[in-house]
Amino acid sequence: MSARRDNSIRGIGAASKLNMELLPKYFMHKELFINTKFHKSNKNPNKWQDLIDILQEKIANLTKENLQRVKDNHGIRYYNGKATILDSHTVRVTKYSGLSQIITAKKLIIATGTEIVEENIKGADKCGITAEQLFQLRDSPQKTLIIGDKMKCLELGGIMKALRVNCTLLPTGICGDVLDEEIIDQLTDLVRNMGVKILPDYKVSMITMDHPFSRDDSILVNGVTNIGEKYSDRFHTVVYANIRRGRTNMLGLDNVGLNVHKRSYKILAKENGETDNPSVFVTGSVLHSPHTCFENSTGKYYTQIYVFT
């Protein structure tokens, strides 16, 4: 991972799912119920900025506590830098200042996680943010379009609606199979009944920004359906919530004989994390596998929350 001067935003290793995805969604989900109570009592809900401040403070505290615990209780050394694998027992760590040092070990465990990939749409790289960046916005996203994997769109759409954010979903397909289509259809009906607008069968052709420094809905999104029907609307924020790819392109996997999946960039290995190199192991979401333990438990969790409660 790229080295940072501090870890207050991304947390230990700069790629922690706890900090970048799970923890923000947990807090926003709790806020969903809080806002429902405020709505019934005609009181004003918490401001977006207050939520983000609380979220970042919690992340910073957890990161500090976790780091201190592993250092004090388990004698684990922590290096805040970018790792490059040189061979089966050697890693070069480059700090933010540019200084580097060589670390040797008997075994290497790769747990670099994944990152969201931007949509392959003209103008997408200049006019939108990822779902991870959504939880770092200082101001409310206001009128928002969420593009990407259907499950992630539904998840974010429900949270944003509960926070009284005007939200539209544009699912581009189902990238994963954590939940089957029947359950996703139930979630779709649930989110639509909450008042979230869902655009089916649209393919976005271009995203442009008229006034980059305007606070109005200055992002113009143009699309077309499978039957040629045109779509056009303006938004204040466009969010990409699609597939995640492994953070492996700059890791030096060739030096230890490891290969990655062509589409996901995740490391090809056995389900237990063993690789063809007896000294290198893989764990977490960067391991290419149909179902990880994390995904299985996540699927069950969402099923209980959104369908059966």
For all residues of the chain together, what is the average pLDDT?
75
Residue 21 shares a structural domain with residue 102: yes
Burial category of 16 from C-beta neighbours within 10 Å (exposed 0-12, middle 13-18, buried 19 and up): buried
Q: Pick the closest to residue 258 from 242, 280, 273 (CA basis).
A: 280
- In angstroms, rounded to a whole number, what is the distance separating the alpha carbons of residues 153 and 151? 5
Tens digits of residue pLDDT in 285-307: 788 876 555 555 555 555 454 44
Residue at 11 is within a domain: no
pLDDT over 60 (residue 26): no
Residue 138 shares a structural domain with residue 165: yes
Helices (H), 21-174: 23-40, 48-74, 124-127, 131-134, 150-162
Residue at 198 is within a domain: yes
Tens digits of residue pLDDT in 148-200: 888 888 888 888 887 788 999 988 765 554 456 777 788 888 888 888 999 87
Quick one: pLDDT at residue 16?
A: 42
Can you tell me the mean pLDDT for 200-221? 70
Residue 255 shares a structural domain with residue 226: no
Can you tell me the mean pLDDT for 19-43? 50
Quick one: pLDDT at residue 106?
A: 95
Number of compact structural domains in the chain: 2
Look at residues 187, 214, 244 and tell me which one is the last residue of a structural domain: 244
Residue 58 shares a structural domain with residue 21: yes
Residue 219 shares a structural domain with residue 72: no
Residue 195 shares a structural domain with residue 165: yes
Residue 96 shares a structural domain with residue 38: yes
Residue at 294 is within a domain: no
- In angstroms, rounded to a whole number, what is the distance separating the alpha carbons of residues 164 and 141? 11
Please state the separation of Cα 187 from the chain's center in Å: 20
pTM greater than 0.95: no
Quick one: pLDDT at residue 174?
A: 59
Phi and psi, residue 202, nearest 5°: -100, 140
Percentage of the chain beyond pLDDT 70 is 71
Residue 147 shares a structural domain with residue 206: yes
Residue 112 shares a structural domain with residue 249: yes
Residue 262 shares a structural domain with residue 236: no
Tens digits of residue pLDDT in 65-104: 877 887 777 778 888 889 999 999 999 999 988 899 999 9
Look at residues 217, 244, 271 and tell me which one is the last residue of a structural domain: 244
Residue at 1 is within a domain: no
> Which structural domain, as residue segments, surrounds residue 60?
17-116+245-288
Here the CATH number for the domain that contains residue 264 is 3.50.50.60
Residue 101 shares a structural domain with residue 145: no
Q: Quickly state the pLDDT bin for 284 (edges 50, 70, 90).
A: confident
Show Cβ contacts of residue 125 under 8 Å, excluding neighbours closer than 6 positions. 118
Residue at 300 is within a domain: no
Residue at 232 is within a domain: yes
Q: Pick the closest to residue 154 from 115, 119, 185, 120 (CA basis).
A: 185
Residue at 150 is within a domain: yes
Residue at 307 is within a domain: no
Residue 232 shares a structural domain with residue 275: no
